[in-house]
Chains A and B, each alone.
Chain A
Amino acid sequence: MAKPTGFMEYDREEPTHRPVTERVGDYREIEELLPEEGIYRQAVRCMDCGIPYCHAYGCPVKNRIPDWNDMVYRKNWRKALDLLHATCNLPEITGRVCPAPCEAACTLAINLPAVTIRHLELQIVEHGWREEWIRPEPAGFSTGKRVAVVGSGPAGLPAAQQLARSGHEVVVFEKSDRVGGLLRYGIPDFKLEKWVIDRRLDQMRAEGVVFETSVNAGVDVSAAYLRRSFDAIVLAAGATAPRDLPVPGRDLKGVHFAMEFLTQQNRRNAGDAIPEGEEISAAGKHVVVIGGGDTGSDCIGTSRRQGAASITQIELLPKPPDDRLPTNPWPTWPIVMRTSSSQEEGCERMWSVQTKELLGEKGGVRKLSCLKLDWSAPDAEGRRSFKEIPGSAFEMRADLVLLAMGFVHVEHGPLVRDLGVAMDSRGNLVADGNCMTNVPGVFGAGDAVMGASLVVSAIHLGRLAAAGADRYLVGR
């Protein structure tokens, strides 16, 4: 470590966002790269801890953060890039969209602003692309084994790449028309422009990964076929089954799952025509987003860009505290009040609100009927319960209701059924330490196994599944 006192000399600098007024007029990425000299000062704030909590606790892919921070400070970008790629296949994506639990676990965050780890990651990988250091790394040998990867999202892609680099022949089945899964259609362009994905896919193709799009595995190709034609199968289909809102009026027009809404805008941006009658638009509408998470925020940003008249976001849980509670200590993920860039662009936020009913006119939604809730303090296990506040019922204008309440589990389609893969009580695939399911040779990766989570966690599980499959295939 080159400068032990860096953290005492320099303050955290946030990467800048394009001004709100400018950015709501387009779908381009809102975050800008910090100029290069500023980056060295940020990197040297890293204290190179004896226990790097960022790496060993915060980061799901276990990025070797202190090591690459040091390399950035020493301007050894090449080595920084190698270190980064040693644990993460898609740093240009996590560098853009990761909520950065590493930063929450950064030792500086005990009493100071954390190191800007996520942005450093982005800088490293973009530096690598600029310098054309990121090139195909084909295995150079073949094991003669074939692996099918089902799903091309944040778990499927790393799994495919790792397997291909281990000398296996890899085919990725994607039911959609383009590769990328959630990354492609779930994340708005203003957070992740899609050329970013394409750039990486080119590398993967050159490494020998074959992508079969518009193939719904289990339907278009049978489970039996997959078993017959491949030595191993990695299920990385995500947890795409959304949580529904079972209240009266749910079937009114203008009530959509967030993912339908977001996907459509991404397609539009990609130049696809949306068939007449299927269009979901927020233009001129009063939009209510139910659910306070990241997907909800994405709906807000997208609605704002589409020209919504008003946007309201409601959340069942109470408003989080401004600071960590004692029961939520560093380095655990802080449950605190945050404002996303989309929220910053303008919306109303409400907490402790339960939707009781959707009211409509002419088959289309017009209003929400809601109640205020009173949440108890957490019990010994940290669980809270709520009571409805009597007389707190109110109504709210809503022309478009977007349901962003999370996802329940992987879709239990024919593939899962026909392969005979076991599931746990929550509907997730059950996998062992090698990520193998109860069916030998069938592996689970990503959200399909753990339920909906972060992109970075999916990447991690994709890599683990690839490693498990590799061990299974070559017996090591």
Chain B
Amino acid sequence: MTANDSSFRWNASGVPKPTGLYDPRNDHDSCGVGFIARIDGVSLHVVVEQGIRILVNLEHRGALGGDKSTGDGAGLLLEIPDTFFRQVCPGDGLYLPPRGEYAVGMLFLPMDKALAGRCSAALERIAAAEGCPVLGWREVPVDPSVLGDLSGSTRPRIRQMFLRRGIHEGDAFERKLYVIRRLAEKKVASWHDVDASQFYISSLSSRTIVYKGLLTGSQLPLFYPDLSNELFMSPYAVVHQRYSTNTLPTWHLAHPFRIAAHNGEINTLRGNINRMRAREAILSSPLFGDDIAKLRPVINEAGSDSAIFDNVLELLVMSGRSLPHAVMMMIPEAWGPKFQMSEDKRSFYEYHSTIMEPWDGPAAMVFCDGRYLGATLDRNGLRPARYTVTRDGMIVLASETGVMDFPPNRIIRRGRLQPGKMLLLDLQQKRIVPDNEIKAAISRRKPYRMWVKGNKIELRGLFVPSEIPPEDPEALRRKQHAFGYTEEEIRLIITPMASQGQEAIGSMGDDAALAVLSNRPQSLFAYFKQLFAQVTNPPIDPLREELVMSLNGFIGRERNLLDETPEHCRMLRLIQPILTPEDMLRLRGSTHPDLAAADLDMLFPAGGDGKALETALSRLFVQADKAIRGGATLLVLTDRNMNAGRAPIPSLLATAGLHHHLIRRGLRTQASIVVESGEPREVIHFALLLGYGANAICPHTVLSTIRELAESESLEAPLLPGEAVDRYVTSVKKGLLKTFSRMGISTLRSFLGSQIFEAVGLGKELVESYFTNTASRIAGIGLSEIAAETVVRHRRGFPVDGRWGNANNLLDVGGVYQVRVDGERHLWTPESVYKLQSATRLDDYGIYKEYAALINDQSGAHATLRSLFRFRKGTPVPLDEVEPVEKILPRFVTAAMSFGSISKETHETIAIAMNRIGGRSNSGEGGEDPERNIPLPNGDSRRSRIRQIASARFGATTEYLVNADELQIKMAQGAKPGEGGQLPGHKVSPEIARIRHTMPYVTLISPPPHHDIYSIEDLAQLIYDLKSVNPRANVSVKLVSEVGVGTIAAGVAKAKADLVLIAGSDGGTGASPLTSIKHTGLPWELGLAETQQALIYNRLRDRIRVQVDGQLKTGRDLAIAALMGAEEFGFGTAVLVSLGCIMMRKCHLNTCPVGVATQDPVLRARFGGAPEYVVRFLRFISEELREYMAELGFRTLDEMVGRVDLLEVQPAIEHWKAKGLDFSAMLLPPDNGLHSPLHRVRPQEHAVGKALDHEIMALARGALDRKEPVRIELPIRNVHRSIGAALSGEITRRYGAAGLPDDTIHLTLLGSAGQSFGAFLAPGVTMHVHGDANDYLGKGMSGGRIVVTPPEGATFLPHKNVIVGNVVLYGATGGEAYFHGTAGERFAVRNSGGKAVVEGVGDHGCEYMTGGVVVVLGPTGDNFAAGMSGGLAYVYDETELFDTRCNLDMVDVESVWHEEDVKRLRAMIESHFRHTGSQRAAQILENWESRLPQFVKIMPIEYRKSLERMRMEEEMNTESVSATEEVYRG
């Protein structure tokens, strides 16, 4: 290894420099957050103590680093402890003016004394110049001995600076302090000669102070002895415990920031930053006057997403908006038509949507400026926030309930923050202001409703053009050629969109060449891959949770952010961003003074080179500047005027380039960009244009194409041209929502310019100039190549020699999705498929080698990145000294393919094969027949050793879990990351339904996110749950390659997973939109390299295994993967091919003609595979791998893993595009200085053995051993997590799925139960909590009983209080639960067998439910029964408003009249009363006759059909059993 010069370095603050593929900018954080306050505003020391106690009780939500003693960060935001400072400061020779007359700065300074002095001096100078002289300094006493190595080594010097008020008073003083801080920050940042990175101002305020650091909650008071001083008093404390995905968090990234503390993630950060930069140019505020210039740039980009949010929130507050107002602007609740709200409030949001886009992403935000203290949740409510108000005037809000103990009789109220809602404490008025009141007041501050009404411009209000004549067919054909349309695209993409209004669906993985490697001219769009949400932020379900999503936008001129006037909303409102040519006529014809369109031709000379393209772009930008100066508010980038002499500039290049140009020039807010181009046609094209700055798009050529298709009756159904266009636009809209939702983004306004894409193969300069801040990690092409590709296409439309006749009425063949000769290069070809099949059938290694040669040698046409690598010379060893095939085979797994996506025959054949070789097959997400745990008579086993835990939890029973050797949490799937799935009802055979614990013929929906993983700490929790229920199984986490996956993998390692799987984006699928298969995720090479580097740099590589999959086909693939850091290898497609798959890509149609991916019995009978074929394939591939090992000189695979130094790029790559690629970052050998192992050498230290459950198991020994009933009573706290999981695992191991007799073990628990209470509960256990419980209660419950009642002595009204958290009974398959109180969001989500009674639920109740019964004795939130395809719910609808809150897409609402229903309902309510003593239940039962009519029954439509079908089948079966069976056998 050569590489010490490339070594990895940190600056003094601990921020690593980006090295290799690992970029610390990708770090995410998540956490526990909360506050405690005295409503009366009295400062007490006990409040500080209680704040610390909350932190300690949230410690499990934070994380520890590689050294096991460094926390990721903890902190407190408090009122300035005036009394304390008066006491301690005289000791420092410092005499303080009265309270409010001075400010305190909490500073982190460099450890270097001289440098610290320089910083301090700079601060003093700046403060004095701004009129706030420094009164003095105080060294903050600290105890560094409590720190871990990592935090100790980056510890800053901590000092407090005291400033005098000067002439500024109150808010003006705060503003001045803000100016001083920004000036100081900028000053120090400008010192390039020194490393002053430790300099940081935690807070500088006359009101609040922040004590924080790279600590755990329990270390915080030890490190800062100040906090233990009795005189240190505050009426409130905002607390935060951080969990960062990497282990190199820094001191200054600990929360709270100056105003906010955040649990969540901002998905749209890049767009928000860019737009703030754009707005800065026109910022002005009378409050700041000239000082405004001193603030710019407002955002310090070195900060985390939360820090940047804080920067902007601070600006808004400092410039005069109240804190709640500013928060409402940045995190608006959903205000779509499905929500009931006042017109004033809706108008407030609409008005502000012209000023500020949502900072979108899951968020629990706590904020405090000394005047207000509050918290809010994002519109999806994906972070928990529970609160308790006490009789003696305390309020506690935190991510979990139970962080503070209160005697039950002191509690007035227990509640939770609901999605989009705010909880506010007015510290002046000394009262809690309810959400409605805050928002009503703010919404009426100004006449927003009148402003919006009087000013917003609607498209339909503009001049109406006459019909546009259809495009001349020949002109259209030329355009199609010039924009690179292909026959395939029209047939496979455009036709389905225009016919069905849906994106086209496909199956299997992407094996075509990467755009930068392709020999065919690629559109610029093809170089981009969409990013997606993975672990740290959940994707959204755009269908079932559509109500939170929006495509609304405003275009035109934006105005000063810091002001509000009626003119701010004088913009054109678009309900969606796709414009028709008619709309363009309207825009161009507009006479409205605020709507002035200027055309900018995005064209360059035909045949021009890169230089010509650059010149044309520059000219375009200059014209744009000029147009804006001339008053244009809409810049229309158009290629309408393309002709033989002028070729179109790729629309994405022009759009992104102009967007960034205008940002740099400070002009971006002056006009909107409208793209009028023939190029965009696929969903991803629109998404890219919007993501890079377009505000609206008119795709003229595709619309003309559709009109022509409709007129020539070439669509799938006869449609009028107008109808077809409408359907197409609808499908684009749906596709856009899906695109946003993959990243967890809800609105177009936040998606605009968000750049959630990664480029593969675009050169550095190109990206810097036109796609600024886009990840493009292997460099690549520039403008010349783009020009060349454009010219080739343009020539097809406008041939130079005039050879345009009627011959070329066919477009280019395409061949991207299906193999076509002369089309795109694929790796699966007729030859490679049949050679692999012949080799495995004939057991012929020679044929295998021919197959491998077809894949490995891509010198003629490259498809994969790895094809560009070659091995360096090693010191060969004899082949027979290399470890045998048998040692390699156990490293092999098969990819997760569910029984349901593939046939029973295929599924079992794979399992048998993998068990024969000692590898592991994967159940996929559809449960598994318990029968398969029993070996076959011949010794074969059909058991899948890996059991997958996917978002739907189908069949994920306790029994399923305890029979696994490995439990795999699927965070994402290569073919469709960030998306859920759907198994259509007709595929759900009775057998599949049985194994999935659902009803036959009922559609099964897999949600996009795991509803118990909204963040990294949630993932840690699920791992803990799984380890509890089955401590023998390894837990693996499946991620998909994208930029930042390494950081996520580090977080996964810290969450104590045993294995992380990096899947390539090219992995297969049974069904997925083609957009997802093609345009999301990255090849595994990039993800694996980044993961290896990130794990090493974070000192975590030693404790976690790394597995890779994604189109692994040959031993060479494995050798490269091993050298890049993979210890294990997964196979999907290749195994299927060896079993007979011929890449029909028809899995989604159930018509697989070889019986692999179908449930049709006729087709299944054609399955011709055998376990031997798989065994042979895997032996061959290991044999080939051994040959590479021998050549490279490795006797064992362990020696080989991570030896990336043995890979190099092929010299003399001829390919005109590929030769610009730079793989140095990917192939960077890890830093020598770290001496880190390159593969796993030690197991994770799991803590499950020490849990309370083990105490319970000891007490329940009699029950476990001898089925004796036991009664146990114990206290419980929120820190006790997953109670019941270990016990249930043990019961199920001993007694199987049936468990113990009912109520054998009866637990009474007093207090607040931690997360995942009763997870995977087994039959025979009853758990009764007297108190309350947190999120994920009863997840995967398979039996038993859970009862939660308020604590004895509680005086509040139970049915008005929240007793259990969010996502209760997720994926339950059995058991019953009774809750004497209300539950949070997503009650009984994906329930398929649990029965529950609850007294009220939040939003999205019974979402995706497929079975079980839920009774709600009170109000529900919005979107009840979304995606509910099975099971029953009964709701007590006193207000008769239920139908407005129910999602009626899949269910009917009816009264409860059927005798069976009445009986069932009554029995459940009786049961509820029996277990909880609920007064509400009692009243209902007492007045049964009069109350029954107030109940409604929620009946899924499909479920009803299924029941009918089963009833009919039963009748038929009794008549003709034998006949039916014969038919099936025949």
Contacts and interface: CB of A to CB of B under 8 A. Distances in A.
A47 B826 CA distance: 19
Contact of B822 (A4, A51, A62): A62
Interface string A217-255: 000000000000000000000000000000000000000
Contacts of B826: 51
A137 B830 contact: no
Given A57-B830, A110-B1153, A329-B837, A50 B819 contact: yes
Nearest to B807: A137
Interface in B163-195: none
B802 to A, nearest CB: 5
A331 B807 contact: no
Contacts of A62: 821-822
A51 B491 contact: no
A56 B1153 contact: no
B714 A76 contact: yes
B322 interface: no
Interface string A83-113: 1001000000000000000000101101110
A7 interface: yes
B810 A167 contact: no
Given A56-B821, A67-B491, A326-B841, A108 B1153 contact: yes
A82 interface: yes
A196 interface: no
A329 B223 CA distance: 74
Contacts of B841: 326, 329
A327 B834 CA distance: 11
Interface in B1142-1177: 1142-1146, 1149, 1151, 1153-1154, 1160, 1162-1163, 1166, 1168
A4 B1071 CA distance: 15
Contacts of B833: 51
A55 B842 contact: no
Given A7-B1153, A137-B807, A50 B508 contact: yes
A166 B803 CA distance: 8
B1146 A4 contact: yes
A139 interface: yes
Consensus secondary structure, chain B interface? loop
Interface string B687-708: 0000000000000000000000
Interface in B919-951: none
A70 interface: yes
A112 B802 CA distance: 48
Contact of B828 (A47, A51, A74, A107): A51
A151 B818 CA distance: 37
A367 interface: no
Contacts of B1146: 4, 47-50
A83 B831 CA distance: 24
A8 interface: yes
Contacts of A167: 801, 803
A137 B806 contact: yes
A112 B805 CA distance: 42
Contacts of A48: 818, 1146
B1142 A55 contact: no
A429 B842 CA distance: 37
A47 B508 contact: no
A141 B1145 contact: no
Nearest to B828: A51
Contacts of B1145: 49-50
Contacts of A385: none
A331 to B, nearest CB: 6
Given A52-B818, A140-B803, A332 B1154 contact: no
Contacts of B1154: 110-111
Interface string A43-85: 0000111111101110000101011001000101001001100
A2 interface: yes
Contacts of B1162: 8
A409 interface: no
B801 A105 contact: no
B834 A329 contact: yes
Contacts of A8: 1151, 1160, 1162-1163
B838 interface: yes
Contacts of A453: none
Contacts of B714: 74, 76, 79
A107 B1143 CA distance: 10
B821 A331 contact: no
A8 B828 CA distance: 26
A330 interface: yes
Nearest to A82: B810
B820 interface: yes
A327 B1162 CA distance: 27
Contact of A141 (B803, B831, B837, B1153): B803
B930 to A, nearest CB: 33
B1143 A49 contact: yes
A34 to B, nearest CB: 23
Nearest to B799: A141
Interface in B780-833: 801-803, 805-807, 809-810, 813, 817-822, 826, 828-831, 833
B226 interface: no
B830 A105 contact: yes
B965 interface: no
B716 interface: yes
A50 B830 contact: no
A141 B805 CA distance: 10
A51 B829 contact: yes
Contacts of A5: 1149, 1151
Contacts of A107: 1142, 1144, 1153
B1153 A51 contact: no
A404 to B, nearest CB: 31
A50 B821 contact: no
Given A49-B1144, A140-B803, A2 B716 contact: yes
A56 to B, nearest CB: 5
Contacts of A108: 1153
Contacts of B817: 50
A170 to B, nearest CB: 16
A2 B499 CA distance: 11
B1408 to A, nearest CB: 27
Contact of A56 (B810, B820, B838, B1151): B820
Given A56-B829, A67-B487, A329-B838, A50 B1153 contact: no
A74 B717 CA distance: 10
A146 interface: no
Contact of A49 (B801, B821, B1142, B1163): B1142
Interface in B702-728: 712, 714, 716
A369 B827 CA distance: 54
Nearest to A49: B1144
A90 B487 CA distance: 22
Interface in A1-58: 2, 4-5, 7-8, 47-53, 55-57
A138 B842 CA distance: 53
A119 interface: no
A200 interface: no
9 contacts: A7-B1153, A49-B1145, A50-B1145, A51-B829, A51-B833, A51-B1143, A105-B830, A108-B1153, A141-B802
Given A79-B714, A137-B805, 19 more contacts: A4-B1151, A7-B1151, A8-B1151, A8-B1162, A48-B1146, A50-B1144, A51-B818, A51-B828, A51-B829, A70-B491, A112-B1153, A137-B806, A139-B803, A139-B805, A140-B805, A141-B803, A167-B801, A167-B803, A332-B834
Interface of B: 487, 491, 508, 712, 714, 716, 801-803, 805-807, 809-810, 813, 817-822, 826, 828-831, 833-834, 837-838, 841-842, 1142-1146, 1149, 1151, 1153-1154, 1160, 1162-1163, 1166, 1168
Interface of A: 2, 4-5, 7-8, 47-53, 55-57, 62, 64, 66-67, 70, 74, 76, 79, 82-83, 86, 105, 107-108, 110-112, 137-141, 143, 165-167, 326-327, 329-332, 474
